[in-house]
């Protein structure tokens, strides 16, 4: 597994398991399978309602807590709640998380960010960052933060490599963590000729070539799966290197096209969308 040095001095694996859309029983088993197959980064969130299951998967794996990079996200309805971080730690059954993100640019995210900075000082969180923050919300955080975001989690893939955002983040040494790293399962992306050709050359699948492109581009990736074999395959990308020419071929696929189009009205509604943590059993 490769590691990335974050701007706060902490190290983060460049590839991990995402648990978005996994039911609790699925998340527990996926986390166990990932950790016992060499993964060391696990991503979850309040909104996924599977934090308790993730915690169980970690315990079940037998991997030492200090070897695992655990990441979660706070939902906008708890950005101002003083006990939000403690409640998250209780659900995960851990003393700290390695990375904590604000999930959406909604509600009082300035107070939410200050709360995360406080959690860092208290030793409950090691690194902090943002999810889905771009444009003005990102600018506001960068203007007021005491601790710079270490990671920003956004949609990123060969059709939408986030080149403009990377230009903004470069001066702050902030890394992009990609969701939809494989293009939300879009066959047109996976079937691009360059991936089949490179897959044949290196003995890899198109998905593995795309994940390798992410890692060599400096992105952190968290492909999600509940399939044990897919989980193993997604991590089998560290025994080869794409050449500069091959990276350039993939870079030319950029269409500046998202799969998810941000909706300001929907995003604003997240500040009122209550979660039901009791559904995480």
**Which residues have a catalytic role annotated?**
48
Backbone angles phi, psi at 172, to 5 degrees: -105, 0
134 φ/ψ sector (left φ>0, alpha ψ -120 to 50, else beta): beta
CA atoms 36, 38, 42, 48: torsion sign:
negative
User: What is the rounded CA–CA span in Å between residue 237 and residue 209?
Assistant: 8
Kindly tell me the burial class for residue 236, based on how many C-beta atoms sit within 10 Å of its own C-beta (0-12, 13-18, 19 or more). middle
If 0-12 CB within 10 Å is exposed, 13-18 middle and 19+ buried, where does residue 192 land?
buried
Q: How far apart are CA 179 and CA 132, in angstroms?
A: 10
CA angle at residue 2 from 187 to 90, to 5 degrees? 90
3-state secondary structure of 230: helix
Structure tokens at 36: 């016992």
**Residues 214/215/216/219 CA torsion (nearest 10 deg):** 70
Task: Determine whether 150 is exposed, middle or buried from the number of CB atoms within 10 Å of its CB (0-12, 13-18, 19+).
Answer: buried
CA atoms of 146 and 149, how far apart (whole Å): 9
């Amino acid at each position: 597994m490769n590691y990335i040095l974050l701007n706060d001095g902490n190290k983060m694996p460049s590839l991990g398991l995402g648990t978005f859309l996994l039911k609790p029983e699925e998340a527990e088993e996926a986390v166990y399978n990932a950790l016992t197959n060499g993964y060391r980064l696990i991503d979850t969130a309040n909104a996924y309602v599977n934090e308790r299951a993730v915690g169980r998967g970690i315990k079940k794996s037998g991997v030492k807590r200090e070897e695992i990079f655990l990441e979660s996200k706070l939902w906008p309805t708890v950005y101002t709640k003083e006990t939000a971080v403690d409640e998250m730690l209780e659900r995960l059954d851990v003393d700290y998380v390695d990375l904590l993100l604000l999930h959406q640019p909604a509600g009082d995210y300035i107070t939410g960010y200050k709360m995360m900075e406080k959690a860092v000082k208290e030793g409950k969180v090691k690194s902090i960052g943002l999810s889905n923050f771009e444009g003005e919300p990102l600018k506001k955080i960068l203007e007021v933060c005491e601790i710079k975001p270490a990671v920003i989690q956004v949609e990123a893939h060969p059709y939408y490599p986030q080149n403009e955002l990377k230009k903004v983040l470069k001066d702050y040494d902030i890394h992009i963590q990609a969701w939809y790293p494989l293009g939300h399962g879009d066959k047109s992306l996976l079937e691009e000729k360059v991936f089949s050709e490179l897959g044949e050359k290196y003995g890899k699948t198109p998905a593995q070539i795309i994940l390798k492109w992410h890692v060599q581009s400096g992105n952190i990736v968290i492909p999600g799966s509940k399939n044990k074999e897919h989980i193993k395959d997604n991590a089998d990308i560290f025994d080869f290197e794409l050449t500069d020419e091959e990276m350039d071929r993939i870079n030319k696929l950029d269409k500046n096209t998202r799969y998810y189009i941000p909706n300001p009205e929907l995003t604003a509604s997240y500040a009122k969308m209550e979660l039901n943590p009791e559904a995480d059993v």
